[in-house]
Chain A
Amino acid sequence: MTSWLLLATADAVTGAASRSQEGGLFDLDATLPLMAVQVVLLTFILNALFFRPVGRAVEEREGYINTSRAEAKQKLAQTERLAADLSEQLRGARQDAQKLIVEAEQEADKLYREALATAQAEAITVREQARRQIESEKEQALASLKADADRLGALIVDRLLAA
């Protein structure tokens, strides 16, 4: 750096003699403020042409993505709630069905028992009736048999005594 500085100043000294204008590496002049103005202008131009439109586009997209994501999350939550609701309903329906089946089975069982009981009772009465009829017929038969035997005995006695 020092050597360049020396070279530059030496150059400036010799150059000043030969060209009547100074030069060199560290030649500050009106280029500086004008360059500053140029950079400031460029800042405003780039702000209008680049930073604002591109920033708007990028941020709009970020906002769009954020709202979309929030919406999707909301929808997902809603769907999950609905699914939970439906499975709840399904479970209720299954329980109802189970209950109905049990009730129907009990009903059928009861009906079967009732039918069986009436049938048995009927059978018993019918048998009792039949037994009583047999009994009475037997008695009748025995009575008539006895009467016949008595009559026959009397007849035999008559004949034997008469002879």
Chain B
Amino acid sequence: MVPLPLALPFAELEVGQQFYWQLGRLHLHGQVFLSSWVVIGALLALVVLGSRKMERDPRGLQNLLEFLWTYIRDLAREQIGEKAYRDWLPFIGTLFLFIFVCNWGGALIPWKIIELPNGELGAPTADINTTVAMALLVSLSYFYAGLSRKGLRYFEYYVEPTPIMLPFKIIEDFTKPLSLSFRLFGNILADELVVAVLAFLVPVIVPLPAMFLGLFTSAIQALIFATLAANYIGEAVHEEHH
């Protein structure tokens, strides 16, 4: 636990505390999985309820789901391109929806009422493991997208427009997942910390603007992550016109 100067009794701030699960010789962050299951459950419930009866004249939740679908489709189509976006739509959409519900779930669900022996529940995206996992998935998928669409010609991308670009493009392959994961992780963790510190110092009203700002940031971060993932995939499948 981080020793804060004001150790008031009514609020506690824990950073870097994990609720460990032991799986054989593996250590797991239990609080991340617990909260991710809750938000995944909420997401699946929404999807199942909304798509139970699809009609030509949409009503109720179907409207919301169709709005989300067209929103994600437009995002993927714009970034990946008309030809390949269909294959990657579910992946991009899942990233967007999962990150979005994680961020908002972390901010809106009153996790504090559930006591854990160690650590605390929060947004799963405030844990570096989650964001690195998704960023690595993005890396894998853009490599896969490029290789499956263009074969070995994919590596031409590294020497275009000139071979001088080669080292930079190789470095890019490392910085892409790094920046993706740290951006999301940092934003969400910082938001949680700001709200927690404010709530810790002044428990009433003052944290509210920070909370609203946090909701806004959370949504933007989900959009940024999904857009960048789609953009990387689009870059990999993009055909140069010679």
A interface, CB within 8 angstroms of B = 1, 4, 7-8, 11-12, 15, 21, 23-36, 38-40, 42-47, 49-51, 53-58, 60-61, 64
Contacts and interface: CB of A to CB of B under 8 A. Distances in A.
Contacts of B70: 58
B90 interface: yes
Nearest to B26: A30
Given A46-B90, A54-B54, A57-B58, 8 more contacts: A15-B16, A25-B16, A29-B28, A35-B129, A42-B94, A50-B69, A58-B66, A58-B70
Interface of B: 1-2, 15-18, 20, 23, 26-29, 32-33, 36, 40, 43-44, 47-48, 51, 54-56, 58, 62, 65-66, 69-70, 73, 89-91, 93-95, 97-98, 124, 127-130, 132-134, 136-137, 186, 189
A43 B127 contact: no
Q: Main secondary structure on chain A at its contact with chain B? A: helix
A21 B27 contact: yes
Contacts of A11: 1-2, 15-16
A7 B17 CA distance: 12
Given A29-B29, A58-B66, A50 B47 contact: yes
Q: Main secondary structure on chain B at its contact with chain A? A: helix
A58 B133 CA distance: 32
Contacts of B48: 49
A23 B17 contact: yes
A55 to B, nearest CB: 6
A24 B17 CA distance: 6
B23 to A, nearest CB: 7
B18 A50 contact: no
A12 B91 CA distance: 35
A57 B133 contact: no
A29 B128 contact: no
Contacts of B43: 42, 46
Contact of B16 (A8, A32, A64): A8
A74 to B, nearest CB: 22
Contacts of A28: 128-129, 132
The 5 closest A-B pairs by CB, nearest first: A30-B26, A31-B129, A47-B90, A36-B133, A35-B133
A87 to B, nearest CB: 39
A15 B54 CA distance: 53
A36 B134 contact: yes
A32 B91 CA distance: 18
Contacts of A50: 47, 51, 65, 69, 93
